[in-house]
């Protein structure tokens, strides 16, 4: 039977800072608003390109910009939010003179926006950290300093998944009331899986460890793994991670010969770090192939990194393959 616990009741049952609760409720409101923008995009003429390029060198969709504006408009009301770091904005947006304990919000306002025109799932990703001292304008903290992370998935239903460092909980937006209600308590990544998600069009660029892993999965029962695997790819990190949280799997966007000079494909601060926190708190693992994602000391707000996330046994296997390939014997 579905739990009737609302997001507010869930957040207030523990000892979270009230200002953090205010911010999380604002994020939930922003995600609810973005879900409506996405669903009504065809009627309001908001599908397609905005004829602009963001800081990542990617073509912006109109809804990328609108989603970013909603995050900024709604979350800026939080009294202890000091700064916003968005995928769509090159510079950090400071809202106040920072004080120790103020919050820093990192977000990808609309992940997977290339799916919009074909009506596939998109989402939003966010992470929250804190200012370390009065007047400190440093936003480049490693992922271990995250106090909260989450995402919203805009699919057949709108789902908000978050963790404050303890359990991972999922809330579904009730269409009648607009409430986010607890529908996925204490989410766990299954330790074993028979699914992997990777963009195989990049096969020619992959390093040997990734090629080895995928080739073994594709070989099926006759191969080294001696069992069949299914491959999935939706071009939306939120959708991939949500599937892994609900039925297991591993998601890879590794460094390869085509993206290595840029550091990888996905952004550390508002994609890799929050998803790593969610996956690890749900019992999975998160790595670059050579070390934990959340241990990386960032060099810039839009830094890119390799990403391997999912069921612990599969991530550990991939780390082993990377270690073997990097050893002097190879």
Q: Which residues are annotated as a binding site for substrate?
A: 111-114, 199, 265
What stretch of H or E contains 158? Answer: strand 158-163
Contacts of residue 10, defined as CB under 8 A and 6 or more positions apart, other chains included, come to 169, 171, 182
Contacts of residue 13, defined as CB under 8 A and 6 or more positions apart, other chains included, come to none
| Residue 252 β-bridge partners | 308
What stretch of H or E contains 315? Answer: helix 312-326
User: 3-class DSSP state for residue 244?
Assistant: helix
| Residue 103 β-bridge partners | 81, 130
Going from the C-alpha of 232 to that of each of 27, 92, 103, 118, the distances in angstroms are: 29, 35, 36, 17
The backbone torsions φ and ψ at residue 51, rounded to the nearest 5 degrees and listed phi first, read: 55, 40
DSSP 101: T
Contacts of residue 43, defined as CB under 8 A and 6 or more positions apart, other chains included, come to none
> Residue 80's Cα: distance from chain center in Å?
23
Distance from C-alpha of 184 to C-alpha of 204, rounded to nearest angstrom: 39
The backbone torsions φ and ψ at residue 2, rounded to the nearest 5 degrees and listed phi first, read: -65, 135
Which parts are annotated binding residues?
Answer: 87, 108, 110-114, 199, 265, 271
What stretch of H or E contains 287? Answer: strand 285-287
* CB burial of residue 266 (10 Å; 0-12, 13-18, 19+): buried
The backbone torsions φ and ψ at residue 81, rounded to the nearest 5 degrees and listed phi first, read: -85, 120
Which parts are annotated binding residues for Mg(2+)?
Answer: 87, 108, 110-111, 271
């Amino acid at each position: 039977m579905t739990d009737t616990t609302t997001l507010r009741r869930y957040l207030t049952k523990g000892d979270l800072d009230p200002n953090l609760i205010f911010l999380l409720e604002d994020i939930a409101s922003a995600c609810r608003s973005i879900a409506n923008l996405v669903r009504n995009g065809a009627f309001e003429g908001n599908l397609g390109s905005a004829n602009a390029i963001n800081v990542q060198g990617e073509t912006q969709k109109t809804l990328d910009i609108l989603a970013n504006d909603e995050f900024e408009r709604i979350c800026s009301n939080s009294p202890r939010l000091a700064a916003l770091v968005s995928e769509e904005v090159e510079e950090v947006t400071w809202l106040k003179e920072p004080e120790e304990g103020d919050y820093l919000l990192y977000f990808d306002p609309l992940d997977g926006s290339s799916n919009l025109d074909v009506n596939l799932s998109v989402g939003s990703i966010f992470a929250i950290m804190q200012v370390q001292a009065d007047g400190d304008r440093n936003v480049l903290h490693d992922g271990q300093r995250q106090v909260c992370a989450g995402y919203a998935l805009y699919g057949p239903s709108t789902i908000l998944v978050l963790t404050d460092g303890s359990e991972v909980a999922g809330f579904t937006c009730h269409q009648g009331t607009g409430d986010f209600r607890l529908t996925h308590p204490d989410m766990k990544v299954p330790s074993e899986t028979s699914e992997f998600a990777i963009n195989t069009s990049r096969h020619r660029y992959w390093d040997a460890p990734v090629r080895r892993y995928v080739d073994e999965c594709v070989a099926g029962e006759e191969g080294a793994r001696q069992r069949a695997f299914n491959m999935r790819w939706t071009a939306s990190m939120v959708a991939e991670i949500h599937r892994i949280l609900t039925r297991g799997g591993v998601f890879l966007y590794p460094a390869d010969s085509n993206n290595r000079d840029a550091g990888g494909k996905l952004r550390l601060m508002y994609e890799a770090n929050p998803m790593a926190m969610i996956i690890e708190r749900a019992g999975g693992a998160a790595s670059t192939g050579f070390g934990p994602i959340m241990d990386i000391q960032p060099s810039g707000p839009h830094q890119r990194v390799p990403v391997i996330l999912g069921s612990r046994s599969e991530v550990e296997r991939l780390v082993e393959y990377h270690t073997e390939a990097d050893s002097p014997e190879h």
